[in-house]
Amino acid sequence: MTASGNLSQDADAPTARVIDATEWAGSVGDVWAAEWQRTDRSFADLSPHLNAAAIAAVEGQAAPRILDIGCGAGGTSMALAAALPEAVVTGVDISPGLIATARARAESLLNLRFELGPVEAIVGDHAPIDLFVSRHGVMFFPDPVAAFTAIRAAAAPAGRLVFSCFRAIALNPWISEIITAMQGAPPPQPAGYMPGPFAFADPDVVRAILAAAGWRNVEARPIDYIYHAGAGPDPVGDALGFFSQIGPAASLLRSAEPEMRETMRQRITPILEHHHKRGAVDFPAAAWLWSADNEQ
């Protein structure tokens, strides 16, 4: 998984602070490790699309080698290791807390291991890889062309790449409506490439990055899904707690003056109540499902 938030706002508005790798490898990663159940829940409708595409990408291979980029707490790695018991699956992340959580969750899967470190620095040790996969873990590289070039260099001759990422902020009201309520202005869509959760929203940017890194047969498929934000006996309170810990809203809260934080949380509540139906707080969400290969 990766760090949250990289939103630039007007000078007079609160800003969601950029979280650097040092924080992500420490306190921020620890928060995500503690929140793995709710983060997995938020992606529960998207994950089957990603997992199915990944499994199809190695169909017919006897013992495929799979590497999960930005594996977070291990949800995607575990799903693939369980579905493909003959595969060798490795999950990689820069957060010690997330890697520890992933290892604890996956003790029974003998074909799965997790490694700590930046994928672009250690991927060569795992070559050749038949499939690289990532659930929203590839939008944070300081130099994405260099990262995807290093990843492709470790791919098998017919190696594949499958990953998901968010589409435009405007298509994801779990951020657009909430950030607008918090600060009184809609969050801007980053132009070009800027590391952050919406860095790959523009398909032209992604195609250019992957082409420059040497990937071929690049394709993108839009996926509309439900972002599950709150559940349980108090779904609105659960969603408020989740957004206060994870993602751009949490980053905005961390960067705000202490006396403003409760006011900002109160502004979120009507949005959550509006999306509270049938015992859950659910938002529409929009993602890309990308695929590419190493064939020349």
CA dihedral 106, 108, 113, 116 (to 10 degrees): 40
Q: Which helix (H) or strand (E) holds 67?
A: strand 65-69
pLDDT over 90 (residue 285) = yes
Q: pLDDT tens-digit profile of 94-123?
A: 999 999 999 999 999 999 999 999 999 999
Residue 245 identity (one-letter amino acid): Q
Q: What is the DSSP letter of 255?
A: H
Q: What is the DSSP letter of 126?
A: G
Residue 17 burial class via C-beta count within 10 angstroms: exposed 0-12, middle 13-18, buried 19 and up: middle
Q: What's phi and psi for 37, nearest 5 deg?
A: -65, -45
DSSP SS3 for 200: coil
Contact (Cβ atoms closer than 8 angstroms) between residue 164 and residue 51: no
Q: pLDDT tens-digit profile of 244-262?
A: 999 889 989 988 999 999 9
Contact (Cβ atoms closer than 8 angstroms) between residue 47 and residue 164: no
pLDDT over 70 (residue 187) = yes
Cis peptide before 128 (omega within 30 of 0): yes
Q: Among the listed ranges 21-25, 184-188, 274-278, which one has the minimum average pLDDT value?
A: 21-25
Alpha-carbon distance 81 to 67, whole Å?
11
Chain mean position to CA 272: 22
Contact (Cβ atoms closer than 8 angstroms) between residue 72 and residue 98: yes
Average pLDDT over every residue of 175-198:
91
For 58-202, where are the alpha helices, taking DSSP H only? 75-83, 96-105, 119-122, 144-153, 173-183
Q: What is the DSSP letter of 159?
A: E
Of 72, 124, 65, 129, nearest in space to 95 by CA: 72
Per-residue pLDDT band at 277 (split at 50, 70, 90): very high
| pLDDT for res 29 | 83
Residue 107 identity (one-letter amino acid): E
Residue 23 identity (one-letter amino acid): E
Average pLDDT over every residue of 181-201:
90
28: number of Cβ within 10 Å: 24
| Placement of tokens 């006396």 in the chain | 259
| pLDDT for res 22 | 60
Q: pLDDT tens-digit profile of 131-177?
A: 999 999 999 899 999 999 999 999 999 999 999 999 999 999 999 99
Phi-psi region of 70 (alpha: psi -120 to 50; beta: other; left: phi over 0): left
| pLDDT for res 24 | 66
| pLDDT for res 10 | 31
| pLDDT for res 7 | 29
Q: pLDDT tens-digit profile of 64-98?
A: 999 999 999 999 999 999 999 999 999 999 999 99
Q: pLDDT tens-digit profile of 15-68?
A: 344 555 566 676 778 999 999 999 999 999 999 999 999 999 999 999 999 999
| pLDDT for res 27 | 77
Alpha-carbon distance 72 to 97, whole Å?
9
Contact (Cβ atoms closer than 8 angstroms) between residue 33 and residue 101: yes
Pick the CATH number of 21-169+193-227+289-293 from 3.40.50.150, 3.40.50.2300, 3.40.350.10, 3.90.1150.10: 3.40.50.150
Contact (Cβ atoms closer than 8 angstroms) between residue 66 and residue 161: no
